[in-house]
Amino acid sequence: MVKVQERRHLVLIGNGMAGINTVEQILKLAPSTYRITVFGSEPYPNYNRIQLSYVLEKSKAVEDIILNDWDWYLENGIELHTGTTVTHIDTEQKIVKADNGIKVPYDTLIIATGSNPFMLPVPGADKEGIVGFRDIADCQNMLHAADQYKKAAVIGGGLLGLEAAKGLLKLGMDVTVVHLFEEIMERQLDHTASLMLQAELESQGLKFATGKQTEEFLGDDRVSGIRFTDGTTLDAEFVVMAVGIRPNTALAKKSGIEVNRGILVDDFMRTSVPDIYAVGECNEHRGITYGLVAPLFEQGAILAKYLCGVETKPYEGSVVSTQLKISGVDVFSAGEFMDAEGLSIVRMHDDWRRIYKKVLLRGGRIVGGVLIGDGKESSRLQQWIRTGTVMTEAIHDAIVGQASVETGNTAADLADEEIVCGCNGVTKKHIVDAINEKGLTTVEEIKVATSASRSCGGCRPVVEQILQYVLGDKYDSAAAKQEAICSCTTLSRDEVVTAIKEKGLITSKEVRYALDWDNPEGCSKCRPALNYYLGMIWPAEHVDEKDSRFVNERMHANIQKDGTFGVVPRMYGGVTTPEDLRLIADIADKYNVKLVKVTGGQRLDLLGVKKEDLPKIWKDLGMPSGYAYAKALRTVKTCVGSQFCRFGTKDSMGMGIILEKKFERLDMPAKFKLAVNGCPRNCAESSTKDIGIVGNEGAWEIYVGGNGGIKARLAELLCKVRTDEELLEIVSAFMQYYRETGKYLERTSEWIERMGLKSVTEAVVNDLDNRRALAERMEVALAQVKEPWSEILNNSNLRERMFEEINVSTKQD
Amino acid sequence: MEPILNRNEYTYYLVGNVDDFTERLGRVVHLGKDKIAVFKTTDGQIYALENKSPGPRGGTIAEGIISGEVLFDPICDWKISLTDGKVLDPDTGQVRTYPVQIHGNEVRVGLLKNEGGLLHE
C-alpha cells in the first residue's frame, strides 16, 4: 500500500491582506503542500483594508471591498476561524491557543497580526466616543456617530487622518483635523505641497488645528472636547485617533518571540523562533516597520516562495509610495521628497491651476517625487523611482511639460518580483506569465486572469506597458485600449453609455452629433447598438428607431436566403394545445408554407413565407410573436417536470411559462435563452443557456453564462435559492445587470468572462439593495414592451410601407 | 399605373408618391419583371437599385440600413453607394441602378427601352 504523505499544517494568525496574500501565493506555487488553518479576530473574510475610506465616504459597501469571499476559503480547503483571537503560541509543543478554547498544532506558523491604531496616552483617552480608524467595526462606529453627532475631531494630519476626516465631512459632520506639526502629511510632503493640500481641503470644508498637542480629553463618560498643551480647547463630540499605527506584537512578545518595535524578522521573514514567520505590518525588517500595502505583498511573495521551497532572493526592503484616496484631490508621494544636498530637483508649481510637481534626482537618477493636483503620471513616476530610471527629455516633458509625450517603455527595467498592482499584489512576473501562458492580448484579459488593475486601476498604464513589452510587434494598441464601438467614433461602449446618461441624449442622432461622430448617420454597427443603449437607458423616453434595426428585428420575422421569411409564434415553455396545433396546420396550408420545422427552442417555425403575407399570417394566427429573430429572450426551454415526470421535483413547465411571459419582448444586448429543469437530470439542457435553472428538492439552482453556439461554454452556478420569488428576483436582476453592462451583441458567455462571475454574483445575488434596484429597473423596462405583430396589424401606415410591395405593370393595354 | 414616355432611352414609370416611401427604409417595387429596391434618404433623395445583393451569399438589399447615401447590405454588410450602385472599399462589386425622376409629388423610375421599357417607334 502506498503511504500518502501527511500534508504539513500551516497556521496563519491574522486574516488580513498580508497573511491571505501569502497564502494565495503558496496555493499558486504548491497547492498541495500545506493543510491551512486561518485565525482572524474580525468577523469578516479578507477585505481590502486600504479601501476602508471608500466605505466611510459611502462610495463602496463593505461587500465591495471583500477580496476573498467565504467560498474562496471553502474552495481552497482552508479552515477559517473568524471572530477568533489567538491568545498564546506554545513554541515548544508547536500549538496555538485561541480565546474560544480551540487548540491547533502547527508545523509552520505565520504571524500576520498587522497593527493597531496608536491611542494617545493622555488623560481621558478611555472616554466614550474616541475611536481608532483601522477596521470595519471602526468604520461602522464612525458611520453611526455621524448620524448622532455634529462636531468631530480627527487627531493626526497624516494619510489616514485626512482620509477619515474627509469621510466624516462627507457624512455631514463638522470636522477639525488636529495635527502636532505645523504642516500636514509632513512625512510625505514638502512645505509647498503640504500647504497646497491643506488649502484644497479647506476649500472643501475641512478645518485644521495645526501645531497643537493634545493634553487631555474633556467630558464626563463621553468625550465633549480636547484641551491642548497651549491651553486652548476644541469642542468635539466624536474623536478619531489617527496619529499612527503600532505593530501588533503582543501575542508574539507573550509567546517569547523576539520583538523590538515590530516582530523581528530576517530577509526571509523568519522570526527568532524556528518555523514561525511574521509578515506585513506586524514585523520589523532591518529596523523598518511598514504601514503601507506594497511592502507587505513583496514580503508575502518572498515568504511564500521560501515556504514552498522555491528559490527566491532575499527581501531587501521596499520603496514606499503614498497616494491619498480622497475624491477630488490628487496627492502622490514616493521615495525622497525633501530638498537636500546632492539632489537635483525638477519642479513645476502652478498656483492658478493648483498643480505642484517635483521630481528629485540623485546623480541623474529619479529617486523620489511629489505630485499635487495632477496625478496622471503617478504610476509611471513610481515605476521610475523603483527602478532608479535616468531622467530623460521625454520623461521630463511627460512630468512637467504641457504636451503629453511618449516616454518610451520602461517595463523591461522592472524586476520580475516588483509588485505592479498594489491593490491585489500582482507582480510583473505574474502578468508576464499570464500573457505568455494564456496568450493574452489586452489589458482587460490580464485584469480577468491576474486581477492586476482590477481594484483602483492606477497601475493600468504599467500593465499596458508590460503587455506591449511582452508582445513586441504583436501588440495591438488599438485592441489594447477599450475598443471603439465602430469606426464612426473612437469612443468605447462605456464612454458612449456614460455620455448618453450624463448629457441626457435621447435619440441616436443626438448621440452622433453630441459625441462628434465621423459619419453623421452612423453605420450598420453603431446604429443598432445606439438604438439598444438608448432604449436601455431611457426605457420610457426613447422611441425605437426602426431604420436602425437589423432586417429581422424590423420585420419581426427571420429572413431566409431566398428573401422569404420564417414565422415562429410563441409557444410558452414549449407547451401547446391541440387547438393551436390545428390552427397552425391550417394556416400552413392556407399560405402554402414550404416547410414546418420543430425548432431547437421547442416550438414551430413556418418557413418560406412571402414578405407581404407576414401580416396576414400573424392576423390569422392570433398568437404573439415568438421573437425567434430578436436580440431578446427567445424561448424558455423546459422539461416535463413534476406535473408528469416520475423524477421531477419542481414544476419546470409552470416556472418556464411564468418566466417566458414575464421577460418576453424586452430588448437585450444579444439573443437570450433560458431553460428550466425539474431535476438534476437536466433534460432541458441548462448548461448551454444564458440562464439555466435546475430544480432540486426544496431549491432552485441558477446557472448562468452558458452557450451552445459558436463558442461553446458551460454555464456556471450563480446561486441556489429556495423560493420562486427569489428565483424571479435574481433572474430579473441578472438580466437587467446584463442589459446595463453588456456590450451590444455580446452574449452572456463572453460578458461573464469579461465581468467575472464573482462580481456578477456580488451585484445580482449578494448585494441585496443593488439586486432589488436592478429588479425595479427591470419592471420599468418591462412596462414599455409591446407585442409587435399586433402593433403592426393595428397600424395600417406602418404595415403598408414596411410589408407591401409596389407592383407596376410595364405592359401597355 | 400608366407608363410615362420619355424622349431619352429610358421609359419612366410612376411608382408612387414621395410619401409612400419612408426615410431610411427600403421598399420593393416590381416594375414589370424587374425587382427594384427604392430608398429615400434623410435628405429626401430617392434612389432605385436592383433588389439583389452583390455579395457572395446572394439575397436582397431592400432591408439594409441606410446611412447618408450609403446602403449597408443586410446579408453581407458590404457598403453600397446609392448614387451609382458601386460597392465601396474594402469590397468590390456593382449593383445595377435605375434613374429616378421626381415630378412634384410623383416618383418615377426609368427602365431602358430595350430592356422591358416601352418601345415606341
User: Which residues of chain B lie closer than 8 angstroms to A555, CB-CB?
Assistant: 63
List residues of B whose CB lies inside 8 A of any A CB.
1, 3, 11, 13-16, 20-25, 27-32, 38, 42, 57-60, 63-68, 72, 74, 77, 109, 111, 116-118
Name the more confident of A320 and A663.
A663
Confidence of residue B2 (pLDDT cuts 50, 70, 90): very low
CA of B15 to nearest chain A CA: how many angstroms apart? 6
Residue B58 forms part of a structural domain: yes
Residue B121 forms part of a structural domain: no
Residue B120 forms part of a structural domain: no
CA distance B111 to B121: 16
Q: For residue A194, what is the enclosing H or E element?
A: helix A191-203
| pLDDT tens digits, one per residue of A586-610 | 999 999 999 999 998 999 999 999 9
Q: Which are the contacts of A319, defined by CB distance < 8 A and separation ≥ 6?
A: A334, A335, A385, A386
**pTM score above 0.80:** no
Range of the structural domain that residue B90 is part of: 3-115
Residue B111 pairs in a beta bridge with: B11
Nearest to B13 among A524, A801, A808 (CB): A808
Q: Are residues A764 and A682 in the same domain?
A: yes
Residue A17 forms part of a structural domain: yes
Nearest to A519 among B22, B25, B67 (CB): B67
Residue A794 forms part of a structural domain: no
Are B23 and A527 in contact (CB < 8 Å)?
Answer: no
Confidence of residue A484 (pLDDT cuts 50, 70, 90): confident
Q: Are residues A777 and A645 in the same domain?
A: yes
CA distance A448 to A159: 30
Instruction: Please say which residue of A455, A478, A501 terminates a domain.
Output: A478
CA distance B23 to A199: 58
| pLDDT tens digits, one per residue of A275-286 | 999 999 999 999
Mean pLDDT, residues A53-76: 86
Q: Are residues A72 and A39 in the same domain?
A: yes
- Side-by-side strand order, sheet with B65-67: B65-67, B70-72, B79-81
Tell me what pLDDT residue B8 has.
63
In percent, the amount of chain B with pLDDT more than 90 equals: 56
Q: Which of residues 513-542 of A touch B (CB under 8 A)?
A: 519-524, 527-528
Tell me what pLDDT residue A111 has.
97
Find, among A564, A576, A547, A477, the residue nearest to A801 by Cα: A547
Tell me what pLDDT residue A307 has.
95
Find, among A42, A40, A5, the residue nearest to A19 by Cα: A40
Q: Which of residues 605-644 of A touch B (CB under 8 A)?
A: 611
Are B15 and A812 in contact (CB < 8 Å)?
Answer: no
- In the block, cell 409564434 appears at A569
CA of A698 to nearest chain B CA: how many angstroms apart? 48
User: Which residues of chain B lie closer than 8 angstroms to A801, CB-CB?
Assistant: 20-22, 25, 27
Tell me what pLDDT residue A454 has.
65
Residue A461 forms part of a structural domain: yes
Does A811 contact chain B (CB < 8 Å)? yes
Does A745 contact chain B (CB < 8 Å)? no
Percent of chain B as helix, strand, coil, to the nearest 5? 5, 45, 50
CA distance A552 to A127: 72
Tell me what pLDDT residue A1 has.
45
Nearest to B60 among A521, A563, A807 (CB): A563
Residue A199 forms part of a structural domain: yes
Mean pLDDT, residues B95-108: 92
Q: Are residues A235 and A251 in the same domain?
A: no
CA of A722 to nearest chain B CA: how many angstroms apart? 46
CA of B47 to nearest chain A CA: how many angstroms apart? 15
Q: Are residues A150 and A225 in the same domain?
A: yes
CA distance A137 to A49: 12
User: Which residues of chain A lie closer than 8 angstroms to B60, CB-CB?
Assistant: 563
In percent, the amount of chain A with pLDDT more than 90 equals: 58
Q: Are residues A218 and A279 in the same domain?
A: no
Confidence of residue A417 (pLDDT cuts 50, 70, 90): confident
Tell me what pLDDT residue A190 has.
92
Return the residue in B61, B67, B71, B89 with the most chain A beta carbons within 10 A, the one to mutate for interface testing: B67
CA of B84 to nearest chain A CA: how many angstroms apart? 19
Residue A805 forms part of a structural domain: no
Complex ipTM tops 0.90: no
Query: A609 with A591: CB under 8 angstroms?
Result: yes
Are B32 and A563 in contact (CB < 8 Å)?
Answer: no
Q: How many domains does chain A have?
A: 5
Q: Are residues A776 and A662 in the same domain?
A: yes
Q: For residue B81, what is the enclosing H or E element?
A: strand B79-81
Chain mean pLDDT for chain A: 89
CA of B68 to nearest chain A CA: how many angstroms apart? 6
CATH of the domain at B64: 2.102.10.10
Q: How many domains does chain B have?
A: 1
| pLDDT tens digits, one per residue of A643-702 | 999 888 899 999 999 999 999 999 999 999 999 999 989 999 999 999 999 998 889 999
- What angle separates helix A748-755 from helix A724-741, to the nearest 10 degrees? 80
Residue B51 forms part of a structural domain: yes
Name the more confident of B4 and A141.
A141
Distances (CA, A) of A274 to A34, A97, A269, A278, A299: 17, 18, 11, 12, 18
Confidence of residue A712 (pLDDT cuts 50, 70, 90): confident
Residue B60 forms part of a structural domain: yes
Q: Is the pLDDT of residue A539 over 80?
A: yes
Half-sphere exposure for A402 (CA within 13 Å, toward CB): 2
User: Which residues of chain A lie closer than 8 angstroms to B15, CB-CB?
Assistant: 806, 808
Range of the structural domain that residue A434 is part of: 411-478
Does A550 contact chain B (CB < 8 Å)? yes
Are A808 and B21 in contact (CB < 8 Å)?
Answer: no
| pLDDT tens digits, one per residue of A284-309 | 999 999 887 778 888 999 999 999 99
User: Which residues of chain B lie closer than 8 angstroms to A559, CB-CB?
Assistant: 59, 63, 74
Are B59 and A563 in contact (CB < 8 Å)?
Answer: yes
Of A65-79, A267-281, A406-420, A536-550, the poorest mean pLDDT is in A406-420
CA of A560 to nearest chain B CA: how many angstroms apart? 8
Tell me what pLDDT residue A405 has.
43
Residue A788 backbone phi and psi in degrees, to 5? -75, -35
Greatest alpha-carbon span in chain B: 45
| pLDDT tens digits, one per residue of A338-369 | 888 889 999 988 888 888 999 999 988 999 99
CA of B32 to nearest chain A CA: how many angstroms apart? 5
CA of A760 to nearest chain B CA: how many angstroms apart? 34
Mean pLDDT, residues A706-719: 88
CA distance A524 to B77: 7
User: Which residues of chain B lie closer than 8 angstroms to A561, CB-CB?
Assistant: 57-59
Q: Is the pLDDT of residue A218 over 90?
A: yes
Q: What are the b/e assignments for A345-359, b being 16+ CB within 10 Å? A: ebeeeeeeebbbbbb
Are A810 and B58 in contact (CB < 8 Å)?
Answer: no
Instruction: Please say which residue of A266, A287, A307 terminates a domain.
Output: A307
CA of A798 to nearest chain B CA: how many angstroms apart? 9
Return the residue in A810, A811, A812 with the most chain B beta carbons within 10 A, the one to mutate for interface testing: A810
Q: Are residues A501 and A647 in the same domain?
A: no
CA distance B64 to B79: 10
Does A498 contact chain B (CB < 8 Å)? no
Report the phi/psi class of residue A641: left, alpha or beta, with left for phi > 0 and alpha for psi in -120 to 50.
left
User: Which residues of chain A lie closer than 8 angstroms to B29, CB-CB?
Assistant: 805-808
Q: Is the pLDDT of residue B90 over 80?
A: no
Report the phi/psi class of residue A252: left, alpha or beta, with left for phi > 0 and alpha for psi in -120 to 50.
alpha
Are B1 and A811 in contact (CB < 8 Å)?
Answer: no
CA of B75 to nearest chain A CA: how many angstroms apart? 9
Mean pLDDT, residues A224-234: 95
Are A801 and B64 in contact (CB < 8 Å)?
Answer: no
Q: What is the 3-state secondary structure (H, E, C) of A681-704?
A: CCCCCHHHCCEEEEEECCEEEEEE
Q: Are residues A648 and A768 in the same domain?
A: yes
User: Which residues of chain A lie closer than 8 angstroms to B118, CB-CB?
Assistant: 810, 812
| pLDDT tens digits, one per residue of A10-55 | 999 999 999 999 999 999 888 888 999 999 999 999 998 888 888 8
Q: Is the pLDDT of residue A481 over 70?
A: no
Burial of A279 (0-12, 13-18, 19+ CB in 10 A): buried
Are B118 and A801 in contact (CB < 8 Å)?
Answer: no
Q: Are residues A193 and A266 in the same domain?
A: no
Mean pLDDT, residues A437-445: 82
Q: Are residues A178 and A297 in the same domain?
A: no
User: Which residues of chain A lie closer than 8 angstroms to B1, CB-CB?
Assistant: 808-809
Chain mean pLDDT for chain B: 85
Tell me what pLDDT residue A56 has.
86
Give the nearest chain A residue to B35 (CA atoms). Answer: A807
Tell me what pLDDT residue B76 has.
82
Strand ranges (E), A553-684: 558-559, 565-567, 595-598, 604-609, 633-638, 672-677
CA of B100 to nearest chain A CA: how many angstroms apart? 15
Are B30 and A812 in contact (CB < 8 Å)?
Answer: no
Q: Are residues A530 and A420 in the same domain?
A: no
Return the residue in A806, A812, A813 with the most chain B beta carbons within 10 A, the one to mutate for interface testing: A806
Nearest to A810 among B21, B72, B116 (CB): B116
| pLDDT tens digits, one per residue of A797-810 | 888 888 888 988 87
Instruction: Please say which residue of A206, A226, A243 terminates a domain.
Output: A243
